């Protein structure tokens, strides 16, 4: 109904974990169909829980198929216009690419849907058992360049707010007073904080240019560098996209504090 009145609808999809597993749980479904097949296990045979609980294994053929088939169901029968993938980095890249291809093949004449307008994006975090492609090439930020699939930009978030959601909450950033209005939490001497603020400014400019890896920026040191040559404090490239469509810039989301609270506490 929303679609019919002209609104485009994006659905948050959580394919990376199950609510329950095993033969007895009331909400255990897939694990009862083929016990042990749909979940990802460690070398000791225990179920991986880094995605909350009961991580799914899209590197397995029928998990991959289930995800793609389900997306097609939502697109064709409910006219969903976009999908936001929870922990996309825990889903294999080939699954994401198959999903995009299948959705884009939908036509208005045959399916009542223009698949070319369906947008895919998600949380491209690279951590836990899938980190560094340990289970296959995953849907993490650096792997998705050139796919046309978007990922959330934590680089601009951390530069604007300061620090990161897992560090000391008093770490300041570009809009929370770093160097200019110190809050009493030691973040280095005056030269250090001035340099950090200038570095954050570079990262924000890359973000405003779509986080393009080949965007050329004159940095705070006066050097001309491409986005991929500018790095975060953790050593990751700031620019990693091939197109602005592959980035979702944000400073506040459903995780962690709101922007108002972040500014207040810092």
Catalytic residues, by residue number, are: 86, 123
C-alpha neighbours within 13 Å on the C-beta side of residue 219: 17
Contacts of 103 (CB under 8 A, 6+ apart): 71, 72, 75, 115, 118, 120
Please name which of 117, 122, 129, 108 lies closest in space to residue 154, comparing C-alpha atoms. Answer: 122
DSSP state of 91: S
3-class SS shares of the chain: helix, strand, coil, % to 5: 35, 15, 50
Q: H or E segment at 73? A: helix 61-78
């Amino acid at each position: 109904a929303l679609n019919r009145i002209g609104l485009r609808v994006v659905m948050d999809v959580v394919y990376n974990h199950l609510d329950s597993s095993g033969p007895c749980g009331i909400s255990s479904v897939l694990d009862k169909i083929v016990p042990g097949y749909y979940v990802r296990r460690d070398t000791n045979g225990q179920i991986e829980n880094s995605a909350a609980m009961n991580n799914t294994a899209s590197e397995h053929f029928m998990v991959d198929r289930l995800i793609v088939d389900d997306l097609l169901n939502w697109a064709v029968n409910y006219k969903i216009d976009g999908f936001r993938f929870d922990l996309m980095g825990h889903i294999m890249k080939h699954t994401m690419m198959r999903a995009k291809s299948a959705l884009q093949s939908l036509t208005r004449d045959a399916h009542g849907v223009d698949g070319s307008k369906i947008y895919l994006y998600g949380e491209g975090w690279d951590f836990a058992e899938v980190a560094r492609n340990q289970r296959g090439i995953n849907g993490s930020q650096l792997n998705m360049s050139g796919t046309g699939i978007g990922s959330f930009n934590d680089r601009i978030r951390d530069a604007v707010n300061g620090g990161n959601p897992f560090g000391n909450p008093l770490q300041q950033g570009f809009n929370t007073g770093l160097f200019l209005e110190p809050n009493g939490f030691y973040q280095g001497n005056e030269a250090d904080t001035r340099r950090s603020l200038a570095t954050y400014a570079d990262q924000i400019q890359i973000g405003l240019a779509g986080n393009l890896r080949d965007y050329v920026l004159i940095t705070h040191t006066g050097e001309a560098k491409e986005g991929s040559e500018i790095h975060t404090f953790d050593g990751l490239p700031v620019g990693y996209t091939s197109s602005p469509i592959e980035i979702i810039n944000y400073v506040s989301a459903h995780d962690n504090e709101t922007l108002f609270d972040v500014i207040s506490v810092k």
